[in-house]
Chain A
Amino acid sequence: MTNSDINRLKDKAFQVFGVFCTFIGLVVLGIFLIDIIIEGVQRLNWDFLVNLPSRRASRAGILTAWVGTLWILVLTTIIAFPLGVAAGVYLEEYGKKNKMANFLEINIANLAGVPSIIYGLLGLEIFVRQMRLGGSLLAGALTLSLLILPIIIVTTREAIKAVPRSIRDGSFALGASKWQTVWHQVLPASFGGILTGIILALSRAVGEAAPLIVIGALAYVPFTPSTPLDEFTVLPIQIFNWTSRPQEAFLTNAAAAIIVLLVITFLLNGIAVYLRNKQQRKVRW
């Protein structure tokens, strides 16, 4: 065998290895999905979506849970979007590259890795107790906003960084101020990336149960919230609650609720991909 044959063989081997690695993740995901769908899909019907929680597994529904989840999603977006994007723009465009910036950067990266329950404890003290919001939707959304802010800030910065230097220079050359450059050139050009980051951050928030239980989100709520100060429950809490019950039928309910939660997550991810593709087509430098 010549040297080039050996190299070709190595090449082939690595390719097989790569495909194998790719499929491990997919197969595990597939097994989980199939398992959960087989268990839960027969329970999934209109009544399940519009019924209130109940002690009888066959009558129990997730209306208050998914409505609570949607409320949390919307409120968290309203809070975290402007804060996160503004912080990212500041750090990337305005902040001076000094020791302070370095310090901030390290801390934001660290914050992204803090366990969610810690944010729950923080939220409990600040929002629930000090600001007297109680176990309300607003307190929950503020807590989750803290949780996903580091992710949004980091993705915003990355998206802004990807805008070519020449765009900024061109804008400045035409006499635009810094703000005009950011608002009319940099932000539109990076908006697809920013949006994708936000939506993926939100799909993390949507699956959190621990921090919300800590701030006092409930398990049995027989009414849908009508203001941000109402008490609430969310899908992950309902799922957690059902999986710890002794009766088999509740486990089926949990599986069905997991499917609904997955669909919400998939929809969010789908929107993210759509927006990014659209953006990619639009931006021509």
Chain B
Amino acid sequence: MASKYKAKNYRCLLNESQKTLNQTKHWLMLNLKLNNLNAAMLLGATMLFSACGGNTENAEGGSDLTGSVQIDGSSTVYPITEAVAEEYRAEAPDVKVTVGVSGSGSGFKKFTRGDIDVTNASRAINADEAAVAQENNLSFLELSVAYDGLTVVVHPENDWVQDITVAELKKIWEPAAQGTIKKWNQIRPEWPDREIHLYGPGVESGTYDYFTEAVVGKSHSSRGDYTASEDDNVLVQGVSTDPNALGFFGYAYYEENQNKLKAIPVDDQDDSNGAGAILPSLETVKDGSYAPLSRPLFIYVHSKAVERPEVVDFVNFYLDNAGELAEEVGYIPLPDNLYEEQRQKFEQFVSGSGATANQQ
């Protein structure tokens, strides 16, 4: 969110400064932002802006499907869906695919009312949301499209943390830690007597829900005294400038900022899925050894939507291309056999649409 404010600030400051500049020249004593804006006009005049007509791109594609596919939901899954929608335009140029970013919760709200056809979700649908779909006579299907590895990071100058266990993460993040766990040496005695500063996604995000579920054991439950931001770039900024920091966010944000951050291998103390502490990477997330912080990303589609051929075609296209495109935008593809499984699940759902119970 902070970045949005950043963008808005330019305008606010703009108006403020122009106000001061021209305090003396009021004609009308307007108490709003109605002041003289000569500076703006000068700048505006130097930058010529010309408008042009509508889009005339109409490439010949391989499909004569028409109609629309409306998608909304998680902003985490958005880059994958955007990539798929972009590629799908070459396949079926007359199908209008639109994607919103109102968030997983908001997406489910529209999805369960049948307002949209497909919703992006960075968490599974919950019981309340499923009940609403039931009320509206919609059955739905959950499809995994990629993985994200939640990455635990510290400042690159932090030389004391070499690995961390899930139990230690729990000790740091559980609600009881609020106000008591304040120093590194409270977590592991050999760590220094320095303050620990925590950074994490805001409580509205699916990332937060998943992390608390996996680490604390209860979804949506953690200490409240940490620096929270809905914008992962703000967290990157925070951790990379604070030597006492510890934070977590999606793998893509670590991957793009590797020179500014140090990722910590996580040990789930369960050797059946890889022994010892494991760093997140394309391989460890994909083969399941980076547990429990690998999380699946989903799309959901409902029974009414799959009555339309363009939705079926789009979802099939999605599952065929999700792996490659997910990797391109910074996520981790599922193993091939899992994509095959999703395709079969979807095929069954389409052929038995309405008759099948809701499956997750």
A residues engaging B (CB < 8 A)?
A: 21-22, 24-26, 28-29, 32-33, 36, 49-50, 52-55, 63-64, 67, 70, 112, 134-135, 151, 154-155, 158-159, 162, 193, 196-197, 200, 203-204, 207, 209-210, 213-214, 216-224, 226, 231, 236-237, 239-241, 243-248, 251, 254, 258-267, 269-270, 272-274, 276, 280
The answer to whether A224 and B54 touch across the interface, beta carbons within 8 angstroms, is yes
Q: B41 and A273: CB pair below 8 A?
A: yes
Given contacts A245-B79, A246-B330, A267-B44, A155 and B9 within 8 Å (CB-CB)? no
Closest B residue to A67 using CB positions: B54
Complex formed: what's the CA distance from A231 to B83 in Å?
19
**Judging by beta carbons under 8 Å apart, are A222 and B325 in contact?**
no
- Could you tell me the distance in whole angstroms from the C-beta of A237 to the nearest C-beta in chain B? 8
Q: Is the CB of B28 within 8 A of A258?
A: no
Binary A-proximity of B243-278 (CB < 8 A = 1, otherwise 0): 000000010110111000000000000000000000
B residues near A223, Cβ cutoff 8 Å: 55, 96
Of B11-19, B169-177, B212-220, B343-351, the segment with at least 4 beta carbons within 8 Å of chain A is B11-19
Could you list 19 further interchain pairs (A-B, Cβ under 8 angstroms) beyond the known A55-B82, A210-B4, A262-B14? A22-B20, A22-B21, A25-B13, A28-B13, A36-B10, A159-B28, A193-B34, A207-B11, A209-B4, A209-B8, A214-B102, A220-B99, A223-B96, A243-B231, A246-B232, A265-B40, A273-B38, A273-B40, A274-B41
Contact status B16-A25, CB under 8 Å? yes
Mark out the residues of chain B between 1 and 56 whose CB falls within 8 Å of any chain A CB in the assembled complex.
Answer: 3-4, 6-11, 13-14, 16-21, 27-34, 36-41, 43-45, 47, 49, 51-52, 54-55
Instruction: Give the distance in Å from the alpha carbon of A25 to the alpha carbon of B40 in the complex.
Output: 14
Q: Contact partner of A55 among B20, B230, B328, CB < 8 A?
A: B328
- CB proximity of B211 to chain A, nearest CB, Å: 17
**B17 contacts A240, CB within 8 Å?**
no
Q: Chain A residue with minimal CB distance to B41? A: A270
How far, in whole Å, are A169 and B8 apart by their CA atoms in the complex?
Answer: 45
Is the beta-carbon distance between A216 and B6 smaller than 8 angstroms? no
**Shortest Cβ distance from residue B212 to the other chain A in the assembled complex, whole angstroms:** 21
**A67 to B33 Cα, complex, angstroms:** 26
Find chain B residues with CB under 8 A from A261 CB: 7
Residue of A154, A258, A259, A270 near B31 (CB, 8 A) is A154
Interface centre among B21, B27, B70, B98 (most CB of A within 10 A): B98
28 cross-chain CB contacts under 8 A: A22-B20, A25-B18, A25-B19, A29-B10, A67-B54, A70-B51, A134-B115, A158-B30, A158-B31, A162-B27, A213-B101, A214-B102, A216-B100, A216-B110, A219-B100, A220-B81, A220-B82, A220-B85, A220-B99, A223-B55, A241-B101, A246-B250, A248-B256, A258-B10, A262-B14, A265-B11, A266-B40, A266-B41
Closest CB of chain A to B308's CB: distance in Å? 17
